[in-house]
Amino acid sequence: MIKNTRTMNRGLFLQDETGTLHGRFSALGAGSTSIISETATSVEGKPYLKLIADPLGAAYEVGVAFPKEKNGMNYYSAVLDSPIFEAPLNVALFPDKEVPNLFQLVWNRPGCPKPRTEAHG
C-alpha cells in the first residue's frame, strides 16, 4: 500500500460523437500539451486508445488508454510516457459528474507529503 498520495488533476478531455478524446495534459516544467486519441485494437481484439500529442504538428504517441468499468462507472485507465518523466505516469480519465462527455485526467502522486493545515505564526 502506498502512503502519502495526493490526487492531482492534470487535464480535461472532451469526447466527441465518434469517441475521440480531445484535450490537454498540463504539468509544471512540461508545459501544456494537446492530446487527441486514436482508436486501436489489441492483438486480443480488445479496443483501446492511442494517445497522440501535438496532433496538428509533429504528432507523436505519448501513451495508451484502456476502457474500464467499476461500480457502473465507465472510465479510462491510461499510461503517459515521455523522456522528461522519471517513469511512465499511470493516470485515469474519469467522467465529469456535471458535464456530459467531459473527462478529468487525474494522477495519484505517491510519496507526496500532506499539506499542513495549522496556521503558522
Following DSSP, what letter does each residue of 1-69 receive, concatenated? ---S-EEEEEEEEEE-TTS-EEEEEEETTTEEEEEEEEEEE-TTS-EEEEEEESTTTT-EEEEEEEEEE
Is 118 a domain residue? no
Is 72 a domain residue? yes
Is 79 a domain residue? yes
Is 117 a domain residue? no
Q: Please report the pLDDT score of residue 96 as a whole number.
A: 92
Q: Please report the pLDDT score of residue 75 as a whole number.
A: 95
Handedness of CA 28, 32, 33, 36 (dihedral sign): positive
Number of domains in the chain: 1
How are beta strands 102-109 and 60-70 bridged, if at all?
Answer: unpaired
Q: Please report the pLDDT score of residue 16 as a whole number.
A: 93
- 10-residue mean pLDDT series, the chain (121 residues): 53 90 75 84 94 86 94 93 84 93 83 55 50
Question: Where in the sequence is the domain holding 18, given as residue range(s)?
Answer: 6-109
Is 32 a domain residue? yes
Is 64 a domain residue? yes
